[in-house]
Structure 1
Amino acid sequence: MDVCLVIKRRLDELGLAQKDLATAAEVTESYISQLLARKKLPPAPDRTDIYEKMAKFLKLPSDRLSKLAELQRREELKRDLAGPPTPMFGEIRELIVRKCVPGKTNQVRAIFEKQPFGELECLVTQKLLDVVKKVVKEELNSENWLHLVARLAGRSYEQMRVTLLDFLDTDVFSLSPENCVSFLDPLIESWDVDLTTFGMEIVLNRRIASGDPRRFAFVETGPDQPEVEPGFKEFLNDRSRSGTATKEEKELLRNLRFNGKRPTSLYYYRELQSLRDPLHFRAENRSSLQNSGRNE
């Protein structure tokens, strides 16, 4: 039994109409009609409060509808994954290119057109979608925010809630022009991408989304290398002091830390002598160090 059938039966049992359910769930009657006719996939339970509102109105256990919806969505996802992705709408691509910083617009457009729905277009679209979805989720329960976005998009509050539910369920392969008009267009001020590293910066519209620009890096880098002490550099350059130092000894000296103090070349030379003093190490450690020196 799926969520649509449970809702239909419960409406019949209680003698209620779809418009009553729509009012209780704060969505349009059209949305409820499409949902019950299976023309729309039930929204993800973790992204909406609609199941809680409907369950309360229909006098059902609070998690009954959400559990059924989750099962139904999994089955639908299995079917979707079996088919190839569909190309992106031209209107969506145009919006995304238009939001790109002016200095890179032509270059990005050329790449998108040369490689339709290629690596760069998918990457940019996915990141824009991720950022906007995060904002929408944070504001999901804010009526004032939804009213503001509804005014900007020229929709009613109920229509915007319906659009929001659809948007949170979409992915890069099912993004629609309506999703873009309602959320991507008003929320995204601009975006930029480094075409070498694919690092991105996304600037949001401050009227409806607070916070600094979002930045993303995609090139793997190692940990930051510690600053090399000037005194250690001088020590290395002075062959009279460092000429006999082994690779292991140099590495040990280089990794010494001094909490703001600046040791001199002489310090490293004396530290090297101390390192070699047999009284400072057990016999096995000294032997290991000597062997390392002979292997250089």
Structure 2
Amino acid sequence: MDISQLIQQKLSEFGMDQRDLADAADVTESYISQLLNRKKAPPAPERTDIYDKLGRLLKLPAGKLAGLADIQRKHELKKKIQNPPLPLFKDVRALVLQKCKRERRREVSAIFEKEPFGELERLVTQKLMDVVKALVKKELERENWLRILARESNRSYKQMRVAVLEFLDADVFNITPESCIAFLDPLIMSWDIDLSSFSLEIVLNRRIAPESSKKFEFVEKQVGRGSSDEEPGFREFLKDDFLSGHATPEEIDFLQHLRFKNSRRPTPLYYYRELQNLRDPLHFRRK
């Protein structure tokens, strides 16, 4: 039994409907409908309080809905990573470029056009998302902050809570224009990148964000195989035959030497996707 079946069973048992669920979880009835009809994947349990609220309403054991959601998400993830990633929506790319510092915009735009969904476009978009996601997670429990953000995005509070769930589940491969309008647009004022070092600076909206800017630098570091500096996510990637089973020694060596200066650590899925990028001929030029 999946999460949708269990919820619908309990609704029937207690004589409740989708509106009761929406009110209990502080989300829209439309979102509940899409969740129950499997048009939307269940949100990650660690990023939302929706399962606790629905569980209490439906008198379910603590963690029951979250556990089912976790199983369902892992199943969906295995199906998703077998498909090649699609490029960004045009509206997403347009917003990313619009936020680029004016003096750099033409140069960056030319690279985006020459290398659609290439290294630079993915790097910038992912970092913009990382910064905004970290901010949203930090402020998520502050109802007043969400209401301010809702006003900035012309949404109701419940619509904003739904948008948060969808945005936190998105990544650079599936972010939608709606998420950009709801989060990237109001929270990010501008960004700039040094194309020689890939040093990236992101300026945030001071009226909403507690910090004014974030800066990222990417450093290549040589380490020996089996070093204690090896990323835990990389070790997990190697242990999972589904993700790394067909990687060549050269590809593994490349992935092993990727290093990250900021505090966020890459997951096994990150290495899988980098492996796919390595194999994509569109991402490389002939000598």
Superposition TM-score tier, normalisation by shorter sequence? 0.7 to 0.9
Q: Does 1:133 align with 2:148?
A: no
Question: 1:213 Cα deviation (Å)?
Answer: 1.4
Give the superposed CA RMSD: 1.0
Contact 2:3 2:68 in 1 (8 A): yes
1:102 Cα deviation (Å)?
A: 1.0
1:173 maps to 2:173:
yes
Aligned to 1:62: 62
Q: Displacement of 1:221 after TM fit?
A: 6.4
- Measured in 2, the distance between the counterparts of 1:186 and 1:50 equals 25
- The amino acid of 1:177's aligned partner reads P
Query: Could you tell me whether the CA contact under 8 Å between 2:186 and 2:205 is conserved in 1?
Result: yes
Mapped to 1, the partners of 2:212 and 2:159 lie a distance apart of 29
Q: For 1:31 and 1:90, locate their aligned partners in 2 and report how far apart those are by CA, in whole Å.
A: 25
Contact 1:24–1:54 (CA<8 Å) still a contact in 2?
yes
Partner of 2:81: 81
Matched to 1:204, the amino acid is L
Instruction: State how 1:78-117 maps to structure 2 within 5 Å.
Output: 78-117=78-117
What is the aligned partner in structure 2 of residue 159 from structure 1?
Answer: 159
SS in 2 for 1:125: helix
Distance 1:9 1:69 in 2: 16
**Take 1:169 and 1:121, find their aligned partners in 2: how far apart are those partners?**
20
Task: Quote how far apart the aligned CAs of 1:61 are.
Answer: 1.1
Aligned length: 222
Tell me if the contact between 2:200 and 2:215 (Cα under 8 Å) persists in the aligned partners.
yes
Q: Which residue of 2 aligns with 1:194?
A: 194
Amino acid at match of 1:126: Q
The match for 2:213 is 213
TM-score, length-scaled by structure 1: 0.74
Match of 1:32 in 2: 32
Q: Which has the larger radius of gyration?
A: 1
In structure 1, distance between residues paired with 2:95 and 2:190: 11
Alpha-carbon separation, structure 1, partners of 2:198 and 2:57: 48
User: What's the CA shift for 1:220?
Assistant: 2.9
User: How far off is 1:141 after superposition?
Assistant: 1.0
**Given that residues 206 and 212 in structure 2 are in contact (C-alpha distance below 8 angstroms), is that contact kept between their aligned partners in structure 1?**
no
Residue equivalent to 2:229: none
Question: For residues 205 and 81 of structure 2, what CA distance do their matches in structure 1 show?
Answer: 34
The residue number in structure 1 matching 2:146 is: 146
2:21 aligned partner: 21
Deviation of 1:212 (Å) = 3.8
Structure 2 match to 1:7 = 7
Stretches of structure 2 lacking an aligned partner (at least 5 in a row)? 223-287
TM-score, normalised on structure 2?
0.76
